[in-house]
Amino acid sequence: MSCSESAPLLENGGHTGHKNLPLTRCVVNFMKGEGEPSWTKSFEFFIFGTWFNILLVFVPLSFISHNMDWDIGLVFLFSFMAIMPLAKLLGEATDQLSVKLGETMSGLLNASFGNAVEIIVGVAALLNGQLRIVQTSMLGSILSNILLVLGCSFFAGGLYHTQGFFNGTGAQASGSLMTLLCITLVVPAAYASTTDTGMQTHCSDPDECPTAGLLFISRGTSILLLGVYSAYLWFQLKSHPDLFIAPSSSTDEQNSEVFVELADTEETEPRMGTAAAGVALLLVTIVIAFCAEYLVASIEETAVRYSIPKTFIGVILLPIVGNAAEHVTSVWMAMKNKYELTITICVGSSIQIACLVVPLLVIVGWIVDQPLTLHFHNFETIVLFVSVFLVNLLLMDGKANYLEGLMLLTLYLVIALAFWVA
More confident residue, 365 or 4: 365
In a domain, 30, yes or no: no
Helix (H) or strand (E) segment spanning residue 165: strand 164-165
pLDDT at 106: 53
Residue 15 inside a domain? The answer is no
Report how many domains make up the chain: 1
391-412 average pLDDT score: 91
Q: Which residues contact 35 (CB under 8 A, 6 or more apart)?
A: none
Res 203: pLDDT: 65
In angstroms, rounded to a whole number, what is the distance separating the alpha carbons of residues 359 and 188?
13
| 264 is a domain residue | yes
| 299-353 per-position pLDDT tens digit | 888 888 888 888 898 888 888 776 766 677 778 778 878 787 788 778 888 888 8
φ/ψ (deg, to 5) at 403: -65, -40
Residue at 212 is within a domain: yes
Question: Which residues make beta-bridge pairs with 400?
Answer: 164
Among 128-132, 182-186, 332-336, 410-414, the minimum mean pLDDT is found in 332-336
User: For the residues of 363-411, what is the DSSP string, one character each?
Assistant: HHHHHTT----S---HHHHHHHHHHHHHHHHHHTTSEE-HHHHHHHHHH
Q: What is the pTM of this model?
A: 0.75
Band of the pLDDT at 396, cuts 50, 70, 90? confident
Domain span at residue 353? 36-420
**pLDDT > 70: what percent of the chain?**
79
Q: Which residues contact 362 (CB under 8 A, 6 or more apart)?
A: 218, 219, 222, 372, 373, 374
294 touches 79 (CB < 8 A): yes
pLDDT value of residue 268: 58
**341/182 Cα distance (integer angstroms):** 24
Whether 265 maps to a domain, the answer reads: yes
pLDDT tops 70 at residue 165: yes
Q: Is 23 domain-assigned?
A: no
User: Does 399 reside within a domain?
Assistant: yes
* CATH assignment of the domain containing 377: 1.20.1420.30
> Is residue 158 domain-resident?
yes
Q: What is the pLDDT of residues 107-139, one digit of tens each?
A: 456 556 667 777 888 888 898 888 888 898 889
